[in-house]
């Protein structure tokens, strides 16, 4: 019988979630939903030294913003679940709260000869490392060195027993088999083989804090939570042989999950991993939401930069996956239908900031005027602008096509709310010449006297007709009017602006430019 698809996103709360991490969560989510399976969140917080307060909350909020909603592990209020219920049978979902579970598994491996107790202190290991490095060798705790170190493989039983009882700083290490070829399959990379001779004996469990390390906790929990596929970043590929061997040592190979390692997100030039520094340098966020660290340093976020979550999800999906068609715009539901691990690329995916903006522009174009007005009203309010909703809707309808972000609305057409007080010098020098502006002022009189339908369509044609019939230079006259209305010679159509701001305001602006420039 085939098992129900169950995948998990297992972040460590060591800081804000990088956009690559969001992509990992997204691919897991898409994979699960397409198969009618479960998407689980598990917080891997056993490394207390790397724990960052607020990071867990940030991660959940970021996923929520993206619409990547877990079936298990987080409740409706957005809290990581701590108690078992029908919906969340594997609680708690925070590994630090699962602490009592892991020791027995580590001990089981020792009993069966797959692991051993190690008593070396940090100083002893440091000395050993220094000694070997002085001899031009690198130290690894493993098959070539373990018999010369202080562990239960090299010591007699009585001593081991005593140290286990009297000391609280020992660890349990995995006994990496010697000279074995581990044969692995990756759903993206295909078949991979690694010889164990270069692999070290990783610590699995620590008596000092009675906590497992990542490797043990990860395998035990994936097993207990009945995970069917592990989809994660390629930085975990080097750990895969150990994970295979752990499944084998526990006797869990029958239900061992299948693995898929995702390639990195690369810098725009393709050279290396996309980092926060690249974002700062080139002007784009690498985090879904803004993050303020303990020093008060602010890292920008897609949300705060004005990206729509749908656009962010869409652009992330396309960084490393392609549908095999020309289609670029996908809603989350469409991604669920179209996604496949087979079409995830093996090589790294280059980030392209212009393309990211393109996605947002496309989503902005698709939004309704009403929705964009909802978003723009508070922006205006914050600027101290009072305008009726009806007016703002008209503005939005007029400039929607030109904007990439809602914040652009202001830059594109702030003059629809506030009159210019200054005029772009070079535009004024170019167009505001007596031979032009005397004609423009006559055109302004025409507009003031116009008694037809006062709409862009109603006014636009007759105004042009008037200028043309007088054989005036159309561009120059229009640019003089635009200078009066906008403060520059570029901007929206004259009839669009005038019919929005109304004759009274139009007249005021004409008077103002006359007083300033004539």
Using N-to-C axis directions, what is the helix angle for 434-449 and 474-486, rounded to 10°? 70
Number of Cβ within a 10 Å radius of residue 187: 16
Task: Supply the DSSP symbol for 151.
Answer: B
CB 186 within 8 A of CB 192: yes
CA distance 386 to 369: 18
CA distance 107 to 97: 19
Nearer to ligand GLU, 68 or 495 (CB): 68
CA distance 174 to 152: 12
Strand, coil or helix: 404 = coil
Residue in this structure with the two tokens 């900031």, named with its chain if needed: 353
Rounded to 5°, angle at Cα 22 from 19 and 27: 130
Q: First-to-last CA distance in the chain?
A: 87
CA distance 114 to 359: 51
Helix H or strand E segment including 57: helix 55-66
Q: In whole angstroms, how close is the CB of 318 to ligand GLU at the nearest point?
A: 22
The residue annotated as part of the active site, out of 276, 355, 367, 442, is: 276
Nearer to ligand GLU, 238 or 475 (CB): 238
Q: In whole angstroms, how close is the CB of 303 to ligand GLU at the nearest point?
A: 22
276 is annotated as an active-site residue: yes
Nearer to ligand GLU, 52 or 353 (CB): 52
Interface contacts to ligand GLU, rule CB under 6 A: 10-12, 44, 218, 230, 232, 236
Q: In whole angstroms, how close is the CB of 181 to ligand GLU at the nearest point?
A: 23
Nearer to ligand GLU, 344 or 447 (CB): 344
Nearer to ligand GLU, 8 or 303 (CB): 8
Q: In whole angstroms, how close is the CB of 99 to ligand GLU at the nearest point?
A: 16
CA distance 508 to 272: 57
**Token representation of residue 69:** 């909603």
CB 78 within 8 A of CB 39: no
CB 264 within 8 A of CB 348: yes
CA distance 11 to 154: 37
Q: In whole angstroms, how close is the CB of 112 to ligand GLU at the nearest point?
A: 24
Q: In whole angstroms, how close is the CB of 36 to ligand GLU at the nearest point?
A: 22
Nearer to ligand GLU, 218 or 404 (CB): 218
Active site residues: 276
């Amino acid at each position: 019988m085939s098992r129900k698809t169950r995948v998990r996103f297992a972040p460590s709360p060591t800081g804000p979630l990088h956009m690559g991490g969001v992509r990992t969560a997204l691919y897991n989510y898409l994979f699960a939903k397409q198969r009618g399976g479960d998407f689980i969140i598990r917080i891997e917080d056993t490394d207390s030294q790397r724990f960052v307060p607020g990071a867990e909350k940030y991660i959940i909020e970021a996923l929520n913003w993206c619409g990547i909603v877990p079936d298990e592990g987080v409740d409706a209020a957005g809290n990581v679940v701590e108690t078992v219920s029908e919906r969340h049978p594997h609680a708690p979902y925070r590994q630090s709260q699962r602490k009592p579970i892991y020791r027995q598994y580590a001990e089981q491996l020792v009993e069966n000869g797959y692991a051993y107790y190690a008593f070396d202190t940090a100083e002893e290991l440091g000395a050993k490392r220094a000694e070997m490095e002085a001899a031009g060798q690198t130290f690894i705790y493993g098959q070539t060195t373990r018999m010369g170190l202080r562990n239960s493989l090299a010591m007699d039983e009585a001593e081991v027993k005593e140290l286990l009882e009297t000391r609280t700083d020992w660890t349990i290490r995995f006994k990496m088999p010697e000279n074995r070829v581990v044969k692995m399959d990756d759903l993206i990379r295909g078949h991979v083989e690694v010889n164990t001779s270069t692999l070290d004996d990783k610590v699995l469990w620590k008596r000092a804090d009675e906590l497992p390390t990542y490797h043990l906790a990860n395998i035990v929990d994936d097993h207990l939570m009945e995970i069917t596929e592990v989809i994660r970043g390629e930085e975990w590929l080097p750990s895969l042989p150990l994970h295979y061997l752990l499944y084998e040592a526990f006797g869990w190979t029958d239900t061992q999950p299948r693995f898929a390692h995702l390639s990195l997100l690369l810098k725009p030039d393709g050279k290396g991993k996309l980092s926060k520094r690249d974002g700062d340098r080139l002007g784009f966020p690498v985090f879904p939401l803004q993050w303020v660290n303990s020093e008060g340093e602010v890292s920008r976020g897609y949300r705060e930069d004005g990206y729509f979550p749908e656009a962010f999800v869409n652009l992330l999906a396309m960084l490393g996956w392609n549908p095999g068609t020309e289609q670029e715009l996908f809603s989350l539901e469409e991604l669920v239908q179209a996604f496949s691990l087979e079409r995830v690329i093996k090589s790294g995916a280059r980030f392209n900031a212009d393309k990211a903006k393109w996605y947002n522009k496309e989503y902005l174009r698709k939004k309704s005027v009403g929705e964009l007005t909802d978003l723009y009203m508070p922006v205006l309010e914050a600027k101290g602008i009072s305008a009726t909703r009806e007016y703002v809707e008209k503005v939005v309808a007029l400039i929607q096509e030109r904007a990439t972000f809602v914040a652009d609305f202001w830059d594109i057409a702030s003059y629809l709310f506030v009159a210019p007080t200054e005029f772009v010098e070079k535009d004024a020098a170019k167009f505001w010449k007596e031979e032009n502006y005397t004609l423009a002022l006559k055109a302004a009189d025409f507009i003031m006297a116009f008694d037809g339908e006062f709409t862009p369509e109603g006014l636009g044609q007759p105004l042009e007709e008037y200028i043309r019939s007088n054989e005036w230079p159309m561009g120059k006259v229009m640019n003089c009017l635009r200078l009066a209305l906008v403060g520059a010679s570029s901007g929206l159509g004259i009839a669009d602006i005038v019919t929005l701001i109304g004759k009274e305001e139009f007249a005021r602006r004409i008077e103002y430019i006359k007083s300033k420039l004539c």
